Amino acid sequence: MGLLAFFRRSQPTANVAKERLRIIVAQERTARGGPDYLPTLRRELMEVIRKYINVDPEAVQINLEKEDGHEVLEFSVALPEKGKA
Amino acid sequence: MTEIIVVTSGKGGVGKTTTSASVACGLARRGKRVAVIDFDIGLRNLDLIMGCERRVVYDFVNVIQGDCTLKQALIKDKRLETLFVLAASQTRDKDALSMEGVRKVFDELIADGFEYIICDSPAGIEKGAHLAMYYADRAIVVVNPEVSSVRDSDRILGLLSSKTQRAEKGEEKVKEHLLLTRYSPRRVATGEMMSVGDVKEILGLDVIGVIPESPDVLSASNAGTPVILNEQSDVSRAYEDAVGRLLGDTLPLRFLEEPKKGFLARMFGG
């Protein structure tokens, strides 16, 4: 590393990459094993919710969890803070 | 016993062909009989990396279509006695490869006593990539410590566990290994690049090798000499280790730390 590079050091962003990947990979793995209708279900639910509440797509989570013998479809919406909606 | 190994990644440009060539050479250098096959139909490149581009007469598709025998199409390496290359076809017809055709070529290689068949997969998740992995016993998933490469390789892991013969027949699953390339210990140390541990944790794979970022890779491809044969290079040592692990050796990972530089080199770069 040269003297110049020392003063122009770039931001440590590896932890951001890791965190983003952890989330997206987990989400894509859930969708992978699950039924084909999940993406469509997610999109249609989003449309319905957004008729009533202005939520960010990131605030809506769909998870299909497999527990011994049965599956749970978990759906969570983080509502926006009051005054922002 | 023949082992079929696919070198795959999803994303392009991460080092699949470099890895295929070096792993094939490493195995052949240990006396194994190895065939390395380019599955990138239409975009032949393994021949260049192996340095045998001017000796390609017949290719993979010619063999499948019966234009020539497998023996005529296999190019014998000039450096290593037991190493053979099967070039990809330059045809634009993507359907030139078929599941049965590939099986036929593999069966012939197996009957001929080849111990390893290395399949250099094309990028993407289309037919070529599917065929390259379909009959695999093992997969080397080549990954750069970078978001798109990691995500794409996770997609490939999904395909390995569902779209291979082993998955379809419900046999023991394809053994998957992670090979990190273009690794820069300096950038990992400053927090600019994900570490081996980070990628390993996200993908949940065992690490078969970590290849340091190095100008030697470009020099090797310029010259048509697989980088593992450049014994002065850390890249060669890292690939040698990976081949050792593939054969069951337990070796500690090397080149995960930046080599110590002298005071002057640190002040003025180098």
In this predicted complex, what is the ipTM?
0.84
> Which residues of B make up each annotated binding site for ATP?
11-18
Distance CA A40, CA A64 (A): 14
Select from B159, B218, B202 the least CA-distant residue to B227.
Answer: B218
Domain-located, residue B270: no
Helix (H, G, I), strand (E, B) or coil at B39: coil
Parallel, antiparallel or unpaired: strands B138-143 and A70-77: unpaired
What pLDDT does residue B22 have?
Answer: 98
Distance CA B86, CA B106 (A): 12
CA A4 to chain centre: 39
**Domain range holding B61?**
3-258
Q: Which of A10, A14, A21 sits opposite B151 (nearest CB)?
A: A21
Confidence label for A43 from pLDDT (cuts 50, 70 and 90): confident
CB pairs under 8 A between A and B: 54
Please write the tens of the pLDDT for every residue from B76-106: 999 999 999 999 998 877 788 899 999 999 9
Chain B contact present for A18, CB below 8 A? yes
Distance CA B56, CA B70 (A): 13
Rg (C-alpha) for chain A, rounded Å, is 19
Q: Looking at the 3D structure of chain B, how many domains does it have?
A: 1
**Among A76-80, B113-117, B141-145, which is the least confidently predicted range?**
A76-80
What pLDDT does residue B60 have?
Answer: 95
Please write the tens of the pLDDT for every residue from B120-148: 999 999 999 999 999 999 999 999 999 99
Parallel, antiparallel or unpaired: strands B75-76 and B83-86: antiparallel
Distance CA B8, CA B16 (A): 6
Domain-located, residue B268: no
A18 neighbourhood in chain B, CB within 8 Å: 194, 198, 201-202
Confidence label for A8 from pLDDT (cuts 50, 70 and 90): low
Q: In sequence order, which residues have a C-beta less than 8 Å from that of residue A30 and are 6 or more positions away?
A: A63, A64
Instruction: Please give the average per-residue pLDDT across B207-218, as a whole number.
Output: 96
B207: domain CATH number?
Answer: 3.40.50.300
Token duo for residue B226: 């697989």
Parallel, antiparallel or unpaired: strands B34-38 and B116-120: parallel
- Among A1, A15, A16, the strongest candidate for a mutation testing the B interface, having the largest count of B CBs within 10 A, is A1
CA dihedral for B146, B147, B152, B154, sign (positive or negative) = positive
Q: Which of A1, A9, A21 sits opposite B266 (nearest CB)?
A: A1
Select from B170, B86, B171 the least CA-distant residue to B132.
Answer: B86
Q: Which CATH class is domain A20-78?
A: alpha beta
Confidence label for A32 from pLDDT (cuts 50, 70 and 90): confident
pTM for this predicted structure: 0.85
Please write the tens of the pLDDT for every residue from B154-203: 999 999 999 999 999 999 999 999 999 999 999 999 999 999 999 999 99
